[in-house]
Copies of this chain bind each other. A is one copy, B any other.
Amino acid sequence: LPLTAESGLRVVLVRARNPLNIGAAARAMSNFGFSHLRVVNTYNVPFREARSAVGASEVLKSAEEYANVADAVADCHLVVGTTAAGHRELRHPLRRLEEGGQVIREEMQTHRVAILFGSEKVGLTNEELSYCQWLLHIPTREEHTSMNLGQAVAVCLYELSREANVTSPARQPEPATAEELERITAALIEALQTCGYLSSEVTPLTKEKMRRLVRRLNLSSEDAETWLGMLRQMSWRP
């Protein structure tokens, strides 16, 4: 089940200065199925530019503008700020994305949740952070904690949609059956005998080796057929 408008997440960009970053954040939202973007701007030129860009997403077009953080999060039950690290905001609990994402995922099923992303240069101010119940940080290398805004949004939204749809892989080819693999093993041995790699008397030990060798290929059924055809051709004595 992809997360939709009903999921209750509000992505709040606070004083983003680069229209490209605003556009990238909106694109990631669209990729991961989040539709409610809010922008807090005292200076609204970057947002206007992002919105008027060619290919601006529906998310961007329907974004809502607010004059301050208080208004932007007023209707939200959980407000989470993002931070590069816990150097400053000692008054807030700090959660890594893996753990905090779990809390947000659960909460957003029933309530409106806001995630705040600060400006590119300075992040969120202490005043803006004061509206947050706790802070989220993406686990980065200590020597380089500052992420690009659009990438930080993408990573957070990936994590939030991550477990909502954990399934088996979308499409895996049908694996080859043991019978098919055994036919291939036989064909391989025969081909190796044809070329003189193996003698005409093959020991049980050698057969086992070849069998394991073939199993480690992880062949699909379709590929097994191809391989069988090739090996049989190789074992044909002219």
Contact string against B for A residues 67-101, beta-carbon threshold 8 Å, 1 for contact and 0 otherwise? 00000000000000000001000000111111110
The answer, yes or no, to whether A27 is at the interface (CB within 8 Å) is: yes
- In the assembled complex, the CB of A139 is this many whole angstroms from the nearest CB of chain B, namely 6
Cβ–Cβ contact A161 & B139, under 8 A: yes
The one of B93, B150, B169 in contact with A99, judged by C-beta atoms closer than 8 angstroms, is B169
Copies of the polypeptide in the assembly: 2
Cβ–Cβ contact B141 & A30, under 8 A: yes
* In the complex, chain A residues 141-166 whose Cβ is within 8 Å of any chain B Cβ: 141-142, 144-148, 150-152, 154-155, 158-159, 161-162, 165-166
Given contacts A32-B141, A150-B148, A151-B150, A167 and B27 within 8 Å (CB-CB):
no
Kindly state the separation between the CA atoms of A100 and B167 in the bound complex, as whole angstroms.
Answer: 12
Chain B residues with CB under 8 A of A142 = 2
A-side residues, CB < 8 A to B, are 2, 20, 24, 27-28, 30-33, 57, 86, 93-100, 137-142, 144-148, 150-152, 154-155, 158-159, 161-162, 165-173, 220
Query: What's the dominant secondary structure at chain A's contact region?
Result: mixed
Chain B residues with CB under 8 A of A161 = 139
Chain B residues with CB under 8 A of A99 = 168-169
Closest to A2 in B: B141
Closest to A33 in B: B141
- In the assembled complex, the CB of A209 is this many whole angstroms from the nearest CB of chain B, namely 21
Chain B residues with CB under 8 A of A165 = 139
Kindly state the separation between the CA atoms of A148 and B166 in the bound complex, as whole angstroms.
Answer: 23
5 nearest CB pairs, A to B: A151-B154, A31-B140, A33-B141, A155-B158, A30-B144
